[in-house]
Structure formats: C-alpha cells, structure tokens
Amino acid sequence: MLDIKFVRENPELVKENIKKKFQEEKLPLVDQVIALDAENRAAITEASDLRAQRNSLSKRIGMLMGQAKKDPSKLEEAEAVKAQVKAQADRLAELEQQEQALQGKIREIMLALPNIIDPSVPIGPDDSCNVEVERFGEPAVPDFPIPYHTEIMERFDGIDMDAAGRVSGSGFYYLMGDIARLHEGVLAYARDFMIGKGFTFCVPPFMIHGSVVEDVMSQTEMDAMMYKIEGEDLYLIGTSEHSMIGKFMDQILPEDKLPQTLTSYSPCFRKEKGSHGIEERGVYRIHQFEKQEMIVVCRPEDSMVWYEKMWRYSVELFRSLNIPVRQLECCSGDLADLKVKSCDIEAWSPRQQKYFEVCSCSNLGDAQSRRLKLRVKGADGRTYLPHTLNNTVVAPPRMLIALLENNLLSDGSVKIPEPLRPYMGGKEVLTPKH
C-alpha cells in the first residue's frame, strides 16, 4: 500500500505506474482518493478547532458560574455558552463519524492502488512478456521416453490419486513409500540448506485472521487463493509467507535486529480456481501441498541486495539436485499489486522440453510494513518502514516433477542426487516395482 502523502504529492507518477501495470480502470481512483483525503483533512482540522474552542468555552462557563453568585445576569450568559458548547459537541460527533467513514473509503482505495514498480521491471501486460535473464545448467532430453510424472510415481507404488479423489475430491493425492520419503527428504534438505545460509527455521501458524490476510496480500489474490474457516475469523494459509510476515505486525524492531532472515515450513491450501491443461494435472496444481519458504525483513537500502541473494539461493539448491533452471524476470502486468519487483525460477522438464515455474522471488518494498504497522527504530531514534521479501525454497510437488524427470534412468529407476541420500537412508537409486 502506498503512502497517502506520496499519492497526494505525486498523482501523475502514481497514474503512470497504473498505466505500466495495464490497470487503466484504476486511474480514476487516484483523483478520488486525493479528494477524499482533502475532505478528511478538512474534517480533522475543523474537529481540532472545535476541541480547542470547547476547552476555552468550558473555562468560560466555570468563570461565569462563579460570577453568577454575585451577578445573576451572568447565569443567563453561562447558559448561552453551554448551548454553544452543546451545538459544538453535536458537530464534533458528526465530524468524528465523518472522519471514520472517510478513512474507511480512503483505505479501501489505497489497498487497490498498485505499488510503484522498480524501474528495472520490463513493461508488458501479462506473463507472455516475462523476460528470460539467465540459464543455469544444460537442459537435456534423454534418448528414451519420459512418462508423465504420475506414471513415474505409480511405478514405485508412490501415489494414489483415485483414493484421494474418493476421500477429498479432485486436487488431492496420497503419496506413499519411497516417493513420500523423497517428498519429505526434499523438504528436510531445503530446510537444512537454508539454515546453512544463516536463516532461522520456523514452523508458523497455519491459520491467520482476516485482517492479517488483508495486510499481506491483495484482495484479488485473497479471493482467488484463500479458504475461509466457516464461522471463524480464520483463513487457511496459502503460503507460510503470510503468517511469517504477519508475525511482525504492530511491532517496532530495533535496527540492530535487522535483517530478519527466516525459513519456514508449512502446508499450503489454495483454491486454484479455473480450469487447467493436461500439463497442470497430477500434482502440479493442487489444493494442498507443503513448502519451505524464505522471508527477509531488512533496511530499504539492502532490499535489492537480498532480492539478488534469495533467487540465487534457489538456483544453487536446484542445481545441487541436477536440475537445470532459468531465471525469468516478471513483467509489470504479471506483478501482484504489492510487488516492486519479482522473478520466477523455472525448472527444466525433459518430458515437455520446456521450463516450468518452481520458485517465485519477490521484493514488496515497504507495502506490507505499512499495512501491518511494522516499523524499525533507527540509531538516530527515528522510525521507518522496513522492506519485506519472500521466495520459495522448494514446493515438493513441483520439485518432485523436476527431480524425477531430470534424474530418471533408461531402465525406469531414479538416481537420487547425492545431497538427498542422507534423507533417504543412504539409497542411491530408487528401483521401480512395476
């Protein structure tokens, strides 16, 4: 969320940013919120003046009532002043209600205005305009056919989607045996990988209040992703970033405690609305999965340095598991409204002979901090808004697809990358049962 003062002083810049985001329907909101802000500030000023006058008049009433003992005419004057105070009190109550209503309208509009994107972000209306920046590892296509990922898992008796369909409906799965162990091994390896980078491991709440949801993500994302608990002010998290950033709400952090570098495990729950093609079936796009996340809270001047570090951590982890990847810079129209800059890390799929998204790294500037009232107290005693960043470490359903395809051998077995072997009881190869 932008600062209303910034919008008031830079309306054309805000409008230009909206155009770059291809959200022209939001352009009228800028003038609307500036007008509402002017009305609100006028109401605040009038209310402040009335409070000052009330204090002065109250003193005058006391003085007149004291004089009325000797001069009865002063009593009539005191009553007139009391009537004036009563009228002002009624007006003050009216203004306070007006302020509350205006502030609600202002906040609603401010939540809809997109964050100012970084100048380096490529301009384009949708993900078709995202830009490949760099590749890591040589993408290869073996000289034998690679089955669909669920077929590979079935050869190990590692997945049962039919039973999950009967129990929970579509978009769920049972993982079993070596595939389930591999799934957990990937998560454990990712956890230890990030701890090795100096991050603190966390297990957060898996449900959060609606007010926190509103503060950490856009309304559009919220409606498309979140499951609400019926009869409760609680939502199932779509990613642990939401509860991890929410951890800092209403806090003032001492500057010497920055950066906060956290890596969190959680299950994730998503509606995943809409229809998806054959390549997004199986365990690619599902309602429930597990993920290891990385979160950073830092000084504004350090956020782009952390952004660079974070997506490179993803590259390093995937390359350690023999998976070629590429970095894809997200264009303006593909950025969620809170994001200043974002990139995807995509893994190579030998079966599809193309890359697919496995990680998303985002710098959100001070937008989440402003919404959450998260501040930092500097060495000079002044407070400021820190920047927040997040990135996927691994989300094993998609990681499993990349891992299985890129480590599949011609006889149907799967080579276990060396870093995962300690988590697999020392196994070097998984041998199919079918």
Q: What is the pLDDT of residue 275?
A: 46
In order of 7, 211, 391, the CA distances from 114 in angstroms are 11, 19, 20
Distance between CA 364 and CA 218 in Å, rounded? 12
Provide the mean pLDDT of the chain. Answer: 90
Q: How confident is the model at residue 273 (pLDDT cuts 50, 70, 90)?
A: low
Residues 73, 140 within the same domain: no
Distance between CA 412 and CA 138 in Å, rounded? 22
For residue 399, pLDDT beyond 50: yes
Count of residues for the chain?
434
Considering only residues 196 and 213, tell me which one the structure prediction assigns the higher pLDDT: 196
pLDDT tens digit sequence for 342-393: 999 999 999 999 999 999 999 999 999 999 999 999 999 999 999 999 999 9
CB 385 within 8 A of CB 364: no
pLDDT tens digit sequence for 23-42: 999 999 999 999 999 999 99
Q: Left (φ > 0), alpha (ψ -120 to 50) or beta: where does 159 sit? A: beta
Q: What is the pLDDT of residue 71?
A: 60
* 118 in a structural domain: no
Distance between CA 403 and CA 181 in Å, rounded? 13
- The whole-number average pLDDT for the span 290-294 is 96
Strand partners, 227: 236
**0.85 exceeded by the pTM?**
yes
Quote the tokens at residue 412: 């149907």
Considering only residues 310 and 59, tell me which one the structure prediction assigns the higher pLDDT: 310
CATH code of 215's domain: 3.30.930.10
Distance between CA 429 and CA 423 in Å, rounded? 13
Residues 44, 193 within the same domain: no
**Comparing C-alpha atoms, which of 369, 101, 102, 178 is closest to residue 258?**
369
Examine the fold and report which residue of 88, 112, 136 is the final residue of a domain before the chain moves on.
112
pLDDT tens digit sequence for 96-109: 889 999 999 999 99
Quote the tokens at residue 172: 């769920």
Residues 158, 66 within the same domain: no
Quote the tokens at residue 4: 């209303």
Pairing mode of beta strands 200-202, 260-269: parallel
CATH code of 102's domain: 1.10.287.40
* 91 in a structural domain: yes
Residues 90, 228 within the same domain: no
For 196, the enclosing helix (H) or strand (E) is: helix 177-196
**Comparing C-alpha atoms, which of 352, 328, 167 is closest to residue 277?**
352
Q: What is the pLDDT of residue 89?
A: 76
Residues 274, 416 within the same domain: yes
Distance between CA 330 and CA 338 in Å, rounded? 14
Q: What is the pLDDT of residue 396?
A: 86
Split into its structural domains, the chain has a count of 2
Quote the tokens at residue 100: 């509350």
Examine the fold and report which residue of 112, 140, 162 is the final residue of a domain before the chain moves on.
112
Q: How confident is the model at residue 278 (pLDDT cuts 50, 70, 90)?
A: very low
Residues 103, 215 within the same domain: no
Distance between CA 413 and CA 429 in Å, rounded? 7
* 38 in a structural domain: yes
Residues 103, 136 within the same domain: no
Q: How confident is the model at residue 69 (pLDDT cuts 50, 70, 90)?
A: low
**Comparing C-alpha atoms, which of 195, 182, 194, 196 is closest to residue 425?**
182
Examine the fold and report which residue of 45, 80, 112 is the final residue of a domain before the chain moves on.
112
Distance between CA 170 and CA 159 in Å, rounded? 14
Distance between CA 258 and CA 375 in Å, rounded? 11
Q: How confident is the model at residue 58 (pLDDT cuts 50, 70, 90)?
A: low
For residue 82, pLDDT beyond 90: no
For residue 150, pLDDT beyond 70: yes
CA-based angle 313:315:321, to the nearest 5? 110
Q: What is the pLDDT of residue 417?
A: 97
Considering only residues 83 and 37, tell me which one the structure prediction assigns the higher pLDDT: 37
* 119 in a structural domain: no
Residues 171, 204 within the same domain: yes
Range of the domain at 9: 4-112
Strand partners, 306: none
Residues 324, 221 within the same domain: yes
Looking at this protein, which amino acid is placed at residue 132?
A: E
H-helix segments, 256-334: 303-320
3-state secondary structure of 121: coil
* 122 in a structural domain: no
Residues 247, 373 within the same domain: yes
Q: What is the pLDDT of residue 59?
A: 57
Distance between CA 267 and CA 293 in Å, rounded? 11
